[in-house]
Amino acid sequence: MQVISIIVSSKEGSIVSIDSFGVLEDEYRNKSVDLAEDFYIEKCVELKYGTEEMRKECVESGCFTLEDFDDYRDEISDGLEDGFEVVAMHTVSIVWSSIDNIQM
């Protein structure tokens, strides 16, 4: 079984969070990968622009536009193969690993 982990670490190197997604070797594989990649992109957006509520307030007040968020999402998506993104004081990484000797 493979696992995709989204790891957020601080500038000092300490781990802030780890979120993992299991990738099964069947018809759900692509869905699992898509979910993990979407989570990675959203985590980067959240660290740069804040929570969804904060983003709505910024759009209403004119700080940012919805296009700014979409452009950033596209930028992160295009750089997904790099495996990491530096966002403010954090690094967000997307890491593949595998679990050997799994017992079911």
pLDDT of residue 27: 67
Kindly report the pTM of this predicted structure. Answer: 0.85
pLDDT digits (tens, 9 = 90+) for 8-48: 999 988 999 999 999 877 767 788 899 999 999 999 999 98
Q: How far apart are CA 44 and CA 38, in angstroms?
A: 10
| DSSP label at residue 104 | -
pLDDT digits (tens, 9 = 90+) for 43-83: 999 998 888 888 888 888 888 888 888 899 999 999 899 99
Tokens 């995709």 correspond to 4
The phi and psi torsions of 74 (rounded to 5 degrees) equal -60, -40
